[in-house]
Every structure is written in structure tokens, then in C-alpha cells.
Chain A
Amino acid sequence: MASTGCVGFRLGLIKAFLAVLALTAAVGVQGAERSPPTADHSKFEALKGPFEDATEVTEACLGCHTEAAEQVKGTTHWTWLYDHPETGQQLGKSKVINSFCGMAVTNEARCTSCHVGYGWEDMNQPPPQADSAVDCLVCHDTTGDYWKFPTLAGHPTYVPREWPKGSGKMVQPPDLANIAQNVGASGRANCGSCHFYGGGGDGVKHGDLDSSLVNPPKALDVHMSPEGLDFACSDCHSTWGHNVSGSRYQVEAKDTLGIDVPGHTDMTRTTCESCHGASPHEQQKLNDHVDTLACQTCHVPEFARGGVPTKMWWDWSTAGKLDEDGNPITEYDENGHVSYLSEKGNFRHGEDVVPHYAWFDGTVEYTLIDEKLDLSNPPININRIDGGPDDPDSRIWPFKLMRGKQPYDTELGTLLVTHVFGADDTSLWSNFNWQKALEAGSAMSGMPFSGEFDFVETRMYWPIAHMVPPAEQALDCGSCHAAESRLAGVGGIYMPGHDSNIWLNRIGWLAVALTLLGVILHAIARMIFKGRKHS
């Protein structure tokens, strides 16, 4: 991955994906069948081009899809704001802090390259208002040639441009007319172009979402694999007027509605139960676990299984070291994963990671910029998950537990965010100067900064819901019902095979041992006296 941390080799992957799609079509492998489209976009005069920039394509789209821009602008994909109905917190990508690069607002043009629009350069302002600023193509391109350039606030490049910086590789401007004439429903690669690369690179953030899901083998994801059902993300994350269902701030942790039937239920399909119902197993005892366990707890045995490592530890405190010549350093671990970058500090990556398990009712709270930290009790939770064993709406869920060290204000006792990206004299990645980068981060985010800082250990919960393998690969009973249990310490459950009463065991086995001893002594005495009687 590029040392500036980014979205490098995605084009190649998307092309590989399309090649495989073409191949599977040729040999007649059946995935999910889809209705043929009612429009051939190559026949529309408005899409003939040429287009100077991508906003012109959007204008052409809106010529027919008159309501689409307004719809998109009403979604969190556009606003990056989310008013949490349970906690009252205002969240969203423009508000939350994470354990990766901190905040989007302090690294605008870089982070807003994933905004579903064009030209959002100042996140203290709302996104640009023009309807033509909505990006239709990032979700609807089917050619794989459309790519939002990482540093252009959502635009693709319109001139040949080097990326990654210093690599000598040139990214060519996309053929917007061809792309516009080939638009279609969103596939995995569309959603993945942002969601697989969160946190600055492939697989970094989520653990269960990375480029291996563009064309996954069945063993990695039974639903998304072209060998299997070939689901698009939107087959489960069903949409309503461009609003995509599913939320990481208010997760549906326990779907009691079961199978969603048109006209009867809520018509979203983001939960497993939406299709599989609440008692999907042939064995009743397995169905009995549905009250307590999220489906993924057994059915996603490990995450990051597709060959793409995910970041598990990110220690920002060591960032900024330079070699003797004043150049940034790159180090690798024994698996060839980056373990140190001067820009970012120390990392630990993981593949085939066993999740962390915890009770979860779906509500996620964040430690926001003004919240006082409980520094006597590290690690600091960047987000907190609600729920517990006595709450009927909670179940035990799997999580990626992201850990690391992040800067905080030692005077104010609040988190700090860093201005990491930017060709200016304050960004950490250009200057390797924490003081300046934190001051700039403070100015951009509105987060107060006393000037005094240090680093504190943090952790962040990422619910795991993807990379479901075929049922045979689900955990077996003994993964939890054993002395060494995956759910050891989760609390609030009695697990036969793991839990038992130590006094019952002591007394029980003592009684068995005394009985055996009595029997043996009696038998020995019988043999001795039998001998005597005969003599």
C-alpha cells in the first residue's frame, strides 16, 4: 500500500472482477438472476457526451431521473450527519472521531474523496448545494473505469495524474461518455470503492469488508460469491429512494420480525432474519441460541479471511521518526505487512482474526470532541456499545476490536484530532510535527487544544456482519461449550461445558471416589477373609 495511505490498486481489482464476471457468464454459471433493464443508456442522446467534467454527467442523468439528486441529498451518504434517535448524539462521518486518521473534517479533500458528491472542500460548511454536485457514477458505473481520485474532493481526475505520489504511475482520466452510457444497478465493486478502503487503505477499517469481496470464493462469502448467490450489497442493504438501509450507529441487533414479506413488514433486508427467519436450523437446540447469539457470532468464525489484512493496532505516538537523512521510514513485519510508517506510527495487522464478543443492543455511542475522558481508566473507548444479558433486545455479537494510541489534551482531558493530510506546512504527513498538526486539527474541527498533549491507549468496536461462509464452516458447539471458550468472560450466560460449580464438582467426584474406595477395600477384605475361611 502507498506510504501516503491510500486507495491504490483498486482499478486492477475491479477489472479482474469484471473479467471473472464475463468468464462466469460465458460458462453459464448461475448467480442471482436479475430482471433485464428497461433502458439501454447507450441510446440516450444526452449521454453521448463529450463531458468536460463529472458534474455534466450528473446533469444529464437528472434530465430523466428528476428526483434522484434531491433523494441522494437527503441521505447520510450525502449529509455525513446522523441524529441518533436513542442517545441524542449527533453522529455521522463529519462528526465522529475514529481510531484511524481521527476525523474527516481535519483532512478534507482526502476524506471527502469518498463523499457521494463533488467539491466538498470545507466540511465546516454543508456539502455543495447544486444538484449537479451529486455523484451518480460512483454507485452506478458498471465499467470499473470510474475512480474518484483520492485528493480531489470527490472528483475523478480530468488530466493524467500521478498516484500514488512519487510512484511514477499515471492515472488516466476516465472516459465519462462511455461510463455514462453503461450505467446500471450498483454492484459490490461500486459500494466497495469506498467501503472496502475506509481508514486509508484496503481492509484497514472494518475487518469484514475489503476488496476480497469484489469476487469472493464461496468459502469467504456464501452470499456474495459468484460461485454462489452473487449478491450485490443492495440485495440485503435494500434501498428506498436512494436511502440505503443498515446503520452502524443504530444497528438492528435482534430482528424479531423474521422473514420480511411485502406489505407485512418493514421491507428492509439488512438482517439475516429478513430472509432466514428466526428459527433457521433443523436442530431445535440451535434455534434456541437465536435469543442470545447474533447469527454472525457462529456464522462468521473469523474475519479478514480473504487475504487482505486488517489493521488491529495503530499506535500514533511513534509517528514522526525520521532516518539519519531526515527521510521517512517504512518497516514491515514478518508477514510483509507494513509495521511502521513515519507518517502513521506503528501498526499491527491481522488476518483470519477471531472476533471479540460482547452483548450488544445495537446502540453505539461515540466519544465526541467535547467529552471529558476517564483517563484513570484506560483504554479509552472511542465508541461504546450498549446492551447486556438482562436486556431482551441484546444479543452477543462479534466485533473487530480496534486498538491503538491516539493523541489527547493533557490539560483539558479531551481527545485531539490530527491534521494528517494536506500539502501545507501544518499537516503531519508533510511536516512530521505533532504540535502543528494538532493545532491545525483543533482549528479545523473546533476542538479546543491547550497546547499540551500526550497519547492514550484507545479501543473502538466495529460490529462484524459480513464474510459469512457456507454453514459447514460455522463454529462448532465446542468453540464455546468448552473450558477454552470463545465466549469466556462475556457474562450473563450459563454455558454447559464451560461453566460449572466448583463445589458441586469437588463434592460429586469425592463421593464417587469414596464409593470406589469403599468398594475396593470391601473387595480386598472379602478376598483376604475368603482365603482364611478356606484355610
Chain B
Amino acid sequence: MSRVMIYKRFERFWHWCQALLIFTLLITGFEIHGSYSWLGFGEAARIHTLVAWALIVLWLFAIFWHFTTGEWRQYIPTRDGLFAVIHYYLIGTFTGAEHPYRKTTRAKHNPLQRLAYLFFKVVISPVIWVTGLLYLFYNDWPATLAGALELEWVALVHTGAAFAMLVFIIAHVYMTTMGHTLTSHIKPMVTGYEDLNE
């Protein structure tokens, strides 16, 4: 066992800021969608726009960080061990089996995590980003775009991606409780350090 820095300072900053921003976006976004009224449409839309810009800036920094540090490799998908992990979550966790994946600093995500986070990063987030910007700049669409696309479709895809985000978060938050103890997965994302068998 060794105590190693598994989530670096920027990574933790990025993760928790992103969490806060996404929760704010979900809460204001579903109000804009008309699911409930709390802040009022105008205030919800104002905050949603402001926070969306903040998230975009954060993403730009995060993308830069991923490429300059090579951390993007953490998300390369692999089938190797994937089914063992799925099997563990469906069955092994109840029978008292050990988690089949051994984390290292160079491969800190198990194959299922890699897939889930990759999907989050290359599908859900970009779709929300692109449709959100189209939504925001609806009035400035060039004529060719305005002729081919309707706001209603942009709103539909944006909202669809928001539902996907909500599903991701529910599953993600639940999965964090599945370590040796309820908080053993969450602690490293706060302190950065985890005890690894290397």
C-alpha cells in the first residue's frame, strides 16, 4: 500500500467547479424548460446563461490541461476487464467479491468509468455546448442555418442532452458510494490522495 496523489489540484478544482456549475445549470435549465417555477423565467435564464459561460471557460482550461498533461489517455476506452467490472456491479458487490480493477496513477479509471466519462466528454457535453450556443445566439443565425434549422429542434436536443446529464449524475453520484466504505471513493476527489496497491 502506498499513499499517492491520484487527483491533482487542478483536476479536483475542475471537477468540483464543474459539479457546482452543472447543478446550477440543471436547476435553472429545467425551470427555463417549464418543469417548475422557482426563480422566475427571467432570473433563471440570466443565471443559466452566466453559468454556461463560466462552464465553457472552465472546459477550455480543462481541455488544455488534459492535452498538456497527457491525462486525456485516462479516457481511452478498453474492453479489457470491462465485463468483469460490469459483472462486479451487477453480482459481485452483493456476494462480497473484491472489485476486479486495480487502479494506478496512469490508469485511474476502470473500463466502465472510462466509457462513461468518455461518453460524458465527447457526446453529452459537446451536444449541450453546441446546442446551447445555438440557442443563445438564435437571433444571429446566418441565413443558411436559419433556413435549415428551427429553434424548436435545438431546444429539443439541448433538453434531451440535459436529461442525459441528469441520468449520468444520478448514476455517477450513486457509484461513488460503492467503494470499501461509502466515502472511500469520494475522499480522494477532495484530498487528492488515495492508498493504492502498487
Q: Which residues of A contact B (CB under 8 A)?
A: 283, 285, 288, 291, 476-478, 481-483, 494, 496-501, 504, 507-509, 511-512, 515-516, 519, 522-523, 525-526, 529, 533
Is B171 among interface residues, defined by CB-CB distance under 8 A? yes
Q: Are B138 and A525 in contact (CB under 8 A)?
A: no
Main secondary structure on chain B at its contact with chain A? helix
Does B159 make an interface contact (CB < 8 A)?
yes
Chain B minimum-CB-distance residue to A289: B139
Name the one of A476, A494, A525 contacting B155, with C-beta atoms under 8 angstroms. A494
Contacts of A496 in B (CB 8 A): 32-34, 41, 45, 155
Per a CB cutoff under 8 Å, which of A504, A515, A529 touches B170? A515
Residue of B nearest to A479 (CB): B41
Bound CA span A288–B151, Å: 13
The answer to whether A508 and B163 have CB atoms under 8 Å apart is yes
The 8 Å CB contact of B40, one of A476, A500, A516, A522, is: A476
> Residue of A at shortest CB range from B150?
A494
> Interface stretch among B17-25, B89-97, B98-106, B183-191?
B89-97
> CB-CB < 8 A to B160: which residues of A?
504, 508
Residues in chain A near residue B70, CB distance under 8 A: none
Q: Is the CB of B151 within 8 A of A494?
A: yes
Residues of B within 8 A of A285 (CB): 45, 49
Interface pairs (17), CB distance under 8 Å: A285-B45, A481-B32, A482-B41, A483-B34, A494-B151, A496-B34, A497-B33, A497-B34, A504-B156, A508-B160, A508-B162, A511-B163, A512-B163, A516-B170, A525-B94, A529-B93, A533-B96
B163 touches A529 (CB 8 A): no
Q: Given the complex of chains A and B, what is the CA–CA distance between A522 and B177 in angstroms?
A: 12
Shortest CB–CB separation between residue B78 and chain A, in angstroms?
Answer: 24
- Asked if residues B40 and A478 are in contact (CB atoms below 8 Å), the reply is yes
Could you tell me the distance in whole angstroms from the C-beta of B161 to the nearest C-beta in chain A?
A: 10
Q: Is B145 an interface residue (CB 8 A)?
A: no
| Complex Cα–Cα for A477 and B34 (A) | 12
Please count the residue pairs between chain A and chain B whose beta carbons lie under 8 angstroms apart in the complex.
Answer: 88
User: How far does the alpha carbon of A477 sit from the alpha carbon of B48 in the complex, in Å?
Assistant: 14
In the bound assembly, the distance between CA atoms of A483 and B167 in angstroms comes to 25
Q: Which of B109-167 contact A (CB under 8 A)?
A: 138-139, 150-152, 155-156, 159-160, 162-164, 166-167
Return chain B residues, CB-CB under 8 Å to A500. Answer: 33-34, 155, 159
What are the residues of chain B within 8 A of A497 when measuring CB–CB? 31-34, 41
Tell me the smallest distance from the CB of A148 to a CB of chain B, in Å: 48
- For B95, give its contact among A476, A494, A529 (CB under 8 Å): A529
Q: Are A494 and B152 in contact (CB under 8 A)?
A: yes
A477 to B42, CA, bound (A): 5
Q: Known contacts A285-B49, A476-B40, A477-B42: does B156 contact A501 (CB below 8 Å)? A: yes
Contact with B159, one of A291, A481, A504 (Cβ below 8 angstroms)? A504
Q: Is the CB of A519 within 8 A of B34?
A: no
Query: Complex formed: what's the CA distance from A522 to B156 in Å?
Result: 31
A500 to B151, CA, bound (A): 11
Which residue of B is nearest A498, CB measured? B34
| Minimal beta-carbon separation of A341 from chain B (angstroms) | 44
Q: Which residues of B contact A507 (CB under 8 A)?
A: 163
